[in-house]
A and B are shown apart, each in its own frame.
Chain A
Amino acid sequence: MVAHVIPQPLSTLETRDRPVNQISEFKFSVPVSTHEPAGRSVKVSAKGVTVHYGDKQAIFPLNVEIADKSVTAFIGPSGCGKSTFLRCVNRMNDMIPSCRVGGQLFMDGANIYDKSVDPVRLRARVGMVFQKPNPFPKTIYENVAYGPRIHGLSRSRGELDEIVKTSLEKAGLFGEVKDRLHDSGTGLSGGQQQRLCIARAIAVNPEVILMDEPCSALDPIATAKIEELIDELRENYCIIIVTHSMQQAARVSQRTAFFHLGNLVEEGETTQIFTNPRDERTQNYITGRFG
């Protein structure tokens, strides 16, 4: 029998509970993901993207390529522009009247800020999970079924049931809620609510999933579950996650981008960013000297 190396899930508990004061050693013990497919294709790429809120510039010309079927983490101190850039990818910034986006942002080679692109169509392809779990104040079933229903993804009630079931299964929630699909989604625990929000996002069958600090309102156990889930989901989706936890970035991502004061300072393989950063600011941030 051929010995088969089973890839370790990245969210092993050894790094999770590491105290903060050991963070300088931490960079030498980053769990390294060894099962990366070679030559991932580029899903999203930014060319000179800038963002202004009124007169204030939030993002300075930014270039980055984000790979498909992998997890890219955005890290950096508060107010560095990482969430702002994330919200450019599904044009959520369109909601803020004072916000202006410049430059070009490509998805599969097409500029999503082109006049011909309807943001509604874009958001059907780019799902989003928010910082605070925000299920609709409706039933668990309705939370997941809403997206497929408005986009007409099912032709019958049975098909819709199937979408809801597989989405909840993919989000690792089906087992816990299968007997109460018609109870309110807001009655779930925080971690379950966040997985419900992930199920709601994947029910629309997107290609990219944006996660804006998805675990910051959750306890460590719920966080571990979400991280495992992210690791499973990257088989099929391009995932971009904003996080304040460097351990989380190290655990779940293949590539990491470090933002500082509206600039993308450095982007590269997660291992490289955490073990051998090129820029001094990255070095200072990951060793806890500021931020």
Chain B
Amino acid sequence: MAITYGTGVPESKATSSEEFDRRLRRRRRSEFIFACLGLLATSVGLFALAILVIDLAMTGLQRLDVSFFTNYPSRRAGQAGILSAWVGSLLVTIVTGLVGVPLGVSAAIYLEEYAPTNWMTNIIEINVSNLAGVPSIVYGLLALGLFIYGFGTGRSILTAGLTLGLLILPIIIVATREALRAVPSSLREAAYGVGATQWQVTKDHVLPAAMPGVLTGVIIGISRALGETAPLVTIGALSFIAFLPPSPITLEFPFISFAWLFEGFTVLPIQAFNWVSRPGHDFQTNAAAAGLVLLAITLLLNGVAIYFRYRLRKRLQW
């Protein structure tokens, strides 16, 4: 239904003046101009993304079949696959999550709920926010010095996971703190009121209420880790690898093996980069296909997170 302005309403002195009419026309015009600019800005982003995806798909989609996922890289582009790369990405991401999420969430809880507000906490807060903007190559250099030369963890999945875990730490801390801060103080008071300790208030009430926001931070962090290349190249990820790390589950007692942590690895973005830098059209196709897989994994992860967030929010009705 069209809304008509200024009809049927008895005009007051102020609204019937010519000055008011002129101003109103100008106000409506500037509103219209902003709406147009906003639409333009939105479509630029969407358009660029669409072009990117379509271009990748047109080059790479033909290459996506089962053998692409089950083959090791090869000198012949037609037989090359991403088996070692996606397994590497998966394992590195798992270690990254196991390192980054508990550390980040715990640190955020401490900073937000426990730490006294003083200049020390303020400095820590500013530094954590700044860490989120440190170039990833710097983390690679840090890991090279600390983990490989310092702790001797080698060019392994463990080193990669630790490095990326540190990389996503500030992202998770910042997101978790925001989420904790958004929990209404009335909920904390309610829990303290029945005699809960601070830890009980946090784990039973505040953290569950903040969970959707925490999850958002975790996913942004993991997605970022999944696409990282520079720090992994710095710590010596391999680019051509024709074997898988040993299985974490073994047939002999104790049935669990951690040997895979200390194996060399490659990840999807490194594999894609490696293919892109080779001459020949066929390898470009492989790179595009690997890019598509990476994109799909990221979208899938985001989808899973959005689903869980939706489920959690539905359970948490205010």
Contact = CB atoms under 8 A, between A and B. Distances in A.
B8 interface: no
B132 to A, nearest CB: 27
Which residue, B116, B189, B205, B318, has most C-beta atoms of chain A within 10 A?
B189
Q: Is the interface of B mostly helix, strand, loop or mixed?
A: helix
A167 to B, nearest CB: 11
B6 interface: no
A239 to B, nearest CB: 15
Nearest to A183: B317
Q: How large is the interface on A (under 10, 10 to 19, 20 to 34, 35 or more residues)?
A: 20 to 34
B194 interface: yes
A107 interface: no
Which residue, B184, B190, B204, has most C-beta atoms of chain A within 10 A?
B190
Contact of B195 (A97, A184, A204): A204
Contacts of B200: 150
A201 interface: yes
Contact of B194 (A95, A184, A204): A204
A146 interface: yes
B310 interface: no
Contacts of B208: 137
A150 B116 contact: no
A217 to B, nearest CB: 11
A150 B195 contact: yes
A106 interface: no
A186 B318 contact: yes
Interface in A104-153: 120-124, 127-128, 130, 132, 134-137, 146-147, 150-151
Contact of A124 (B195, B315, B317): B195
A132 B193 CA distance: 14
B191 interface: yes
B194 A123 contact: yes
Contact of B187 (A120, A122, A136, A204): A136
Contacts of A150: 194-196, 200, 204
Contact of A201 (B116, B192, B194): B194
A135 B195 contact: no
Contacts of A186: 317-318
A150 B195 CA distance: 8
A187 interface: yes
A132 B208 CA distance: 21
A214 to B, nearest CB: 13
A137 B116 contact: no
A130 B190 contact: yes
Nearest to B209: A137
Interface in B200-243: 200, 204-205, 208-209
A120 B193 contact: no
Nearest to A200: B194
A90 interface: yes
B117 A97 contact: yes
A92 interface: yes
B316 interface: yes
A204 B194 CA distance: 7
A190 to B, nearest CB: 13
A121 B192 CA distance: 11
Interface string A177-192: 0000000101100000
B305 to A, nearest CB: 20
B62 interface: no
5 contacts: A92-B189, A123-B194, A130-B186, A137-B208, A137-B209
Interface of B: 116-117, 184, 186-197, 200, 204-205, 208-209, 315-318
Interface of A: 90, 92, 95, 97, 120-124, 127-128, 130, 132, 134-137, 146-147, 150-151, 184, 186-187, 197, 200-201, 203-204
Closest 3 CB pairs of A and B: A147-B194, A124-B195, A123-B195
Given A130-B189, A150-B200, A150-B204, 4 more contacts: A95-B188, A137-B187, A147-B194, A204-B194
